[in-house]
Amino acid sequence: MKIVLTLALLFVFAFGKAQDTTTRVHHAGAELYELKKPAVYQLKDTDFTFRPENDVIRIKKLKNDEEMEFAQLRRTTDDGLYIMTSTLNDEVSFGRFDSLGNFRTLRYDITRDSVLEDLFVVKNSGKLQDP
């Protein structure tokens, strides 16, 4: 029950922040980044592939030249907020692409009892082959 309440609180916080960001983006005239082709991203020292499909972006971890299922992104709002669900465990996070194409997430870490931020930095965009 604690996890459900924490995730609900995180969602409300992220949604409120998204509303603030929407206003700033609108006033600044910046456009939202939308991933349309597969790309390689890096989180710390680990590479990931982001592959857009129909209504989901599949994220796979690259290890020894093999792709392992990691997570899925689903767009939740018109202003670019995504929910990331892990395919390995029950972790859920929220995030968005910045204007450079990097993907920033916020997630609750139950062991630290805090919200953590992760930044997936785009290494190349649109240079992967579609399967």
pTM: 0.70
| Burial class of 33 by CB neighbour count within 10 A (0 to 12, 13 to 18, 19+) | middle
pLDDT at 108 over 70: yes
pLDDT at 28 over 50: no
Q: How many CB atoms lie within 10 A of CB 84?
A: 22
Compute the average pLDDT of residues 9-33: 50
- Quick: pLDDT tens for 3-13: 755 665 566 55
As a whole number of Å, the end-to-end CA separation of the chain is: 40
pLDDT at 103 over 70: yes
Residues 6+ apart with CB under 8 A from 32: 25, 79, 80, 96, 97
* pLDDT of 65: 82
In the 3-class helix/strand/coil scheme, how is the chain assigned residue by residue? Answer: CHHHHHHHHHHHHHHHHHHHHHHHHHHHCCCCCCCCCCEEEEECCEEEEEEEECCEEEEEEEECCEEEEEEEEEECCCCCCEEEEECCCCCEEEEEECCCCCEEEEEEECCCCEEEEEEEEEEEECCCCCC
pLDDT at 49 over 70: yes
What are the backbone angles phi and psi of residue 48, rounded to the nearest 5°? -135, 150
Fold classification of 2-125 (topology level):
Lipocalin (2.40.128)
